[in-house]
């Protein structure tokens, strides 16, 4: 085999190796991004669930709960507390 052919095979081998590495790296980055987004969404869902539980627990004490929504304040009271006479 001539040195010219060896050089071409060597260069093609390196290019093939780099192409395979790039494909695997792209696949890994996409997989990691999807995994990170899934973990972020799970965290948001857990946080929202915990907020609702805390509001419900506080509302069960028959006290008003002020919630600020944008520029408005809304007071939350448990419906069961409205039928009680003081």
- What digits encode the pLDDT tens for the residues 8-33? 999 999 999 999 999 999 999 999 99
Flag whether 80 is in a domain. Answer: no
- What digits encode the pLDDT tens for the residues 34-83? 999 999 999 999 999 999 999 888 988 888 899 998 899 998 888 888 87
Flag whether 14 is in a domain. Answer: yes
Cα-to-chain-centroid distance, residue 18: 32
Q: Residue holding tokens 């071409």?
A: 8
- Collapsing DSSP states into helix, strand and coil, what is residue 51? helix
> How many distinct structural domains can be found in the chain?
1
Flag whether 81 is in a domain. Answer: no
């Amino acid at each position: 085999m001539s040195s010219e052919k060896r050089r071409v095979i060597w260069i093609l081998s390196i290019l093939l190796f780099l192409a395979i590495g790039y494909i695997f790296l792209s696949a890994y980055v996409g997989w990691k991004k999807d995994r990170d987004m899934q973990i972020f969404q799970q965290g948001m869902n857990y946080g929202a669930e915990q907020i609702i539980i805390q509001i419900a627990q506080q509302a069960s004490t028959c006290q008003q709960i002020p919630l600020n929504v944008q520029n408005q304040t809304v007071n939350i009271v448990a419906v069961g507390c409205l039928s009680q006479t003081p």
